[in-house]
Structure 1
Amino acid sequence: MNIQVFVRASCAVSGIVLLVWAVGQIRPDPAEVQSTLNDSGPAPTGRMVTLSSSKSSVAGIQLAVVRRGDLLIARTLPARITYDDSRHVSVRAATDGVLERVLVKPGDVVVSGQTIAVLRSPDIGNARSEVMTRTAALELAESERVWWSTLCENVKRLVDAIASNTPVDTIEIQFRNATLGEYRGKILAGYSKSLLASRLSASVGEIGQTGAVSGRIVQQRQSQQHQALAELNALMEQALFETGQHRKQSRAEAKTAERDLMVAKQLLSTLLGMTEGSASKLDPSGNTTDLARLEIRSPFSGTVERRTHSATERVVGGTELFVIADTSELWVEADVRGRDWNALQVSDGDSVIVTTPATLTQRLDAKVYFVGREVDSLSGAIPLVARIANPNKILRPGLFARMEVPVGTLRDVIVIHDSAIVDLDGQDSVFVKSENGYEPTAVQVGIRSGDRVEIRSGLHEGQSIVVDGAFVLKSEMLLEGEQ
């Protein structure tokens, strides 16, 4: 009995030893397995998927060739759509008054200079009346200045002609249409009297030499000549002085009237809340019977974004009445936190990518306008503002957005579109086109930036991969697996 048990135990032990030795001979060397895997590359993650050409066309299969290139690394920042400050204005009440009419509503398109409301204000009426009064005073002062300037110049010419001993008849012809006022008669009468005295003195002097008249008469005639000449010179000096003084005074009065008008216009411009130049365009004050009526006009072409008051409401100066904006171009304002300040690699004019819920997957191009310098005390961020075109008016101010901002660049890497990557059993994979169909191949994904992805292993240049329709191939592969 003991001998039989011993024999059985010996046989069992021998069998176990032989089995361990056989397993050791069959198991491959781990180093050889690893070398084989490295040489063969990534193993396919599933079976080959085959589609007919017609089915591929219906599925919308699109291929792309794998290439190496540079990958721009971007940081996605929260952002919001806002108005472009240069294309947005808040139209406010110029002064206290009552809204007589409101002519537009939100969504209306307006053009520059279009009347959008009518405000009635006594202050505006008083200011306009003052402008009209000062304008009339300036016109009167200017006419006075022109009159005395012309008169002064003509009197000078007349005096020069008399000094040249021009005959009276000739002077009258030369100055027939000239403005001389009362000085024409005074000076010409004095000149005629002086000429007559000169001729009488000359004739008496010739007769006196013959002894026909006494010497006393000769002296009397000569005295009359000198007196007439002295009176003429006095008249001319007085005329030159008076006209010169009047010209200076009229110039000063015209300058004063001009300053008074300028002050009145500035007061009106202040009430209207605009510069003097723009006030002359938007408030011509052509209505001389209803000066208190002010037409509020759109400062530029755009869309009425907001209206805050209705007709018959009383408003105070500075109250916002409308918001008008040209939304064909907007701003995208992103918040740059402290950790991203030094990483950003953008400057004015650089391109950034913007996405919004309103545009779904569409990626919009925007141009950097400026990077702010001041840190917001509440958010701890600085603004990065970019300009974005909005020709179809899809974007609206206040809309949430995301902005992809470059922070670096990967050089000479394999880059593919993220639409090529699918998840197969928890492994990132792509479908590689081969002669027999589409082969699912596992890849190691690196850095993602926007819709571009770095591939660190699993692909090489020149391969054709599916970039559109990969999910269709995945579904087809799963269906084949179930069958």
Structure 2
Amino acid sequence: MKLTTMTMAAMTVGVFAFVTIPATSGKAETPLPMTAAAAAAPQDDDHADEAKDAHGDDDHAGEAKDAHGDDDHAGEAKDAHGDDDHAGEAKDAHGDDDHAGEAKDAHGDDDHAGEAKDAHGDDDHAGEAKDAHGDDDHAGEAEGAHGDEGGGDVVKLTPEVAKEAGILLEQAELGALGESLSLPAEIRFDADRMANVTPKVSGVIDRLLVGEGDTVAYGDTLALITSRELAGLKSQWIIAQTNEVLAAQALERLEGLWAQKITSEANVQTARAEHESAKTESEAAETELHAVGIDHAALEKIAAAQDGNNANAYLTAPLAGTIVRRAATLGETVTAGDSSAKVLFTIVDDSVVWADIAVYKQDISRVLVGAPVALKSGAGDVIAQSTVAFVLPVIDEVSRTATARVIIDNSDRSLTPGQFVIADLSVGNTSEVLRVPQSAVQLVEDSPSVFVPVEGGFAPRAVMVGTTAGGYVEIRSGLEEGDLFVSDGAFTLKAQLEKDAFGDGHGH
């Protein structure tokens, strides 16, 4: 084998990976293996080892053969560099001015000769590059990840569902907002909506029909008492009724005889007196029965009652409410009377309750009737709002405080008598400002917001808040006078909004 001077010079420099032998017989030039070129190249001290590693290793010789001499990979090389579909890619990889220097580094430097092979001779990496930049599936994911999220700011509720959820709307209005005064308060039953049930006749409890916690309506039977006293009163009334009927018949007969001049007028007068007396006795007996709880409807049934039934006394509910105490025992003997009567049942209507606020002596003059009041739990949450109904002008000898009473609608039964709360009162006078209930303002994405009605539901609107007093918050911007906002149920909407946002965020 003879090498030309040009070929040897190229091998000495070590730039090219392959050298050629001039054709002497007219045949195509045959590529010289990399190992031969490496063997022919002078061994430079600095790069001798690198050259050996890059081109003189037997293992790599096989790889070079696989890369360029194998028929199987010949087609792949054609696909990588000779396919029209990838012509643009090749241009992008090697034809850009910005990468001209990189091409030089990849093919002209000894240190990077092996890297150039890895970068452009490996079919696997060519496929990875295609996957990294040419996959349509990932392009779609990128688009979805940054799409429009505006729809997530609306809590979609129909008017019917909003009504069932207790969502209430109000118009933003101007109102006084004075200094806030926080005082302790206790929830109590409304004394006008509370009843202690005692027996009206003495007897033995024969049946109990309700227990503690039961809800009753007006007139419902609570217990059945067997009473000899009641039996006697009913008997007296029946006798009086009979005597009245007989006296009326006698008077009618004598008046007929007197008209015929058969009897004297004196006899008629006597009959009239007896009738009046019988009538009076009947009315008195009826009054006695009314006094022990027997109404007119029950009186009509007394005469037709079976033997023994006239001794039954029915203890009924004087008002609608809840049984909060039952002190009656089956078979117990009870006594009627103003002072000796035992309270058998206690019924309360807690749909309306009182909040008695303890006002310190120095603050009494500042608490005015009609002042806004917000009741707060120990955690500071507003649980009810109302106004001061009146202030008792008496100072307790022990606590040295006066009582300011607030009447509260408790139809949702959120307040329990005996519960202690904090009353936030608005005291003093100030100029009117745009205000909303404190419970209407919720933190949405760390920004104070109120919910306003929009098409299809409700959306949060960021607001700037000011002073807080008496359960109200000053709105300095974000809401205008007359704007509709959610005054009750804002927390429910906030919770639903956060739930929807959490679900959207985990949609992938």
TM-score (norm 1): 0.50
TM-score (norm 2): 0.48
